Amino acid sequence: MADVDSAKQALLHQFGKALNSNDVTTGSAFVTDDFVWIYYEGPDHPEGRIIRGFKAACEAVVERANRLKTPIVFSESNEYSSSDKIFTTYRVSGEFIDTGPFDVRAIDIYSFRGDRICSKDTYWKIITA
């Protein structure tokens, strides 16, 4: 990890654990009241899909999990820090029931306000079809 603030890094770890385990109560303590997740796909042009609130973010993770034919595999992860943001780059692959296999390079941009996460902005770049 390249010069990532340890407190923010710990917060991100706790946030991710709560998000991926659908723990709304715990995760809500790590985000601002106006937290948004700007999702990599969806109807909100040009952003993709704007998910408002930690509860809705957990619901989106459950929704995505329900679409999976095979588990998501995350690899090649790195974190970078810049003032009030942490950038994570990674590779993710798997297979959706409705759209088939995917293999993408991704980036999440986490913005902080004080000691809480106020947004997560996710981008996927398809590297195989």
Q: Average pLDDT in the 31-59 region?
A: 93
Domain count along the chain: 1
Residue range 28-43, pLDDT digits in tens: 999 999 999 999 988 8
- Answer with the residue of higher pLDDT: 33 or 82: 33
Query: Does residue 42 lie in a domain region?
Result: yes
Query: Does residue 1 lie in a domain region?
Result: no
Q: Which of 19, 40, 37, 39 is nearest to 28 (CA)?
A: 19
User: What's the confidence (pLDDT) of residue 46?
Assistant: 82
Token pair for residue 55? 């509860």
Q: What is the CATH number of the domain that holds 86?
A: 3.10.450.50
- As a whole number of angstroms, the distance between CA 109 and CA 34 comes to 16
Query: pLDDT grade, residue 64 (50/70/90)?
Result: very high
| Statement: the pTM of the whole predicted model exceeds 0.85 | yes
Percentage of the chain with pLDDT > 70? Answer: 95
The domain in which residue 66 lies consists of: 6-128
Query: Does residue 64 lie in a domain region?
Result: yes
Q: Tell me the residue ranges of DSSP E strands in the chain.
A: 31-44, 48-52, 68-82, 85-96, 100-113, 116-128
